[in-house]
Amino acid sequence: MKLSHYTLISLIAVSLAGCKKEGKNNESGKDSLTAKKDSVVIPEVHQEYYGIYTGEFAGKEKMIDESDGTEYDGGVYKRISLKINRITKDSVYGQSIVEGTQRPFRGVFNESSKSFVLDEPGSDKTDGRFEVKLSGDSLTGKWNAFNKSAVKAPLKNLKLIRKDFVYNPNFMLDKDSELVDWSNPKDFVEKYTNEETGKTESYTTSKNRVASEAIFKLNASTQKLTEKELKNLRKLDLEIIKNSVFARHGYSFKKNTYRYFFEQTDWYIPVSNNVDNELSPLEKENVALLNRFTKYAEDKYDSFGR
């Protein structure tokens, strides 16, 4: 039988459509297998241990005595948080948060000894291994840097307590908190008159920034701040009032100045290195106003001994 030109074209089109449909079905079958594979959920265990453990992260590092240049072992104290997010039969997942750095870790949990071995990725010079033991709501143990020559204190001890992070806009600095910024001393040249010779001589003294009582009164999370309230404040006042907003949201500060102020409280728990999306509209408005005044504010310095 002789097929016409148009009949032949129609048969080819039908054949191609069938191949395309078959290929699509094969692809769909492949996707289905992948979906089934991805849908396998590894069961979680010991969810009662999930949460944030925060507290002391302390060690020794080499320091130089400014008076005579000798080297000595000085104590280093930081506050760290370990977040346990997931535990399975074979693995533990979470993050470490310290000094504005948030690093993922993965490790194992020994059920019989109730101990964790947790490794940070190793791609950063500050990464290391946590070996900690659980006792009630406490985690104690040590951290060892992978690259011991890259950090000043390659071995640190941990004493952590489990705490539930709760945002509370009413949290304030403790009234007995120190008001001194110990991290940014500044040298000043001053003069005095020698009583014996009558001559005026110069000397250099180191002073530190000091905050005022305003940091205990103004709350940028609950009050709409005004220019009148801010215009005469010190620069450190404005910085602390602003950063109190971020501290309430659990921001992990990189700067020693701010960490020192908030680590004097019992409510500050570092849980993240970015909380910008957590701020309320009022907080964002106040932060913008505080930034504007901080740019032109001046500090008060005073002499202290430690």
pLDDT in tens, the chain (306 residues): 444 444 444 444 444 444 444 444 444 444 544 445 455 678 999 999 999 999 999 998 877 776 677 777 788 888 999 999 999 999 999 999 999 899 999 999 999 999 999 999 999 999 999 999 999 999 999 999 999 999 889 999 999 999 999 999 999 999 999 999 999 999 999 888 887 787 888 888 999 999 999 999 999 999 999 999 999 999 999 999 999 999 999 999 999 999 999 999 989 999 999 999 999 999 999 999 999 999 999 999 998 765
> What tokens were used for 148?
């011991």
**By three-state DSSP, how is residue 156 classified?**
strand
Which amino acid, one-letter code, is at 165? F
- Contact predicate 283/219, CB 8 Å: no
> What tokens were used for 72?
């000595």
**By three-state DSSP, how is residue 213 classified?**
helix
- 306: Cβ–Cβ under 8 A, 6 or more apart, which residues? 182
- 121: Cβ–Cβ under 8 A, 6 or more apart, which residues? 103, 104, 105, 127
Q: In 3D, which of 53, 288, 77 has the Cα closest to residue 182? A: 77
Q: Which CATH class is domain 47-163?
A: mainly beta
Supply the pLDDT for residue 14.
Answer: 43
> What tokens were used for 250?
């659990």
Supply the pLDDT for residue 19.
Answer: 46
- Cα–Cα distance measured from residue 29 to residue 37, given in angstroms and rounded to the nearest whole number: 12
Supply the pLDDT for residue 22.
Answer: 45
| Alpha helices by DSSP H, the chain | 5-38, 227-230, 235-248, 256-262, 281-294
> What tokens were used for 7?
């009949």
- Cα–Cα distance measured from residue 247 to residue 45, given in angstroms and rounded to the nearest whole number: 32
Domain ranges of the chain: 47-163, 180-302
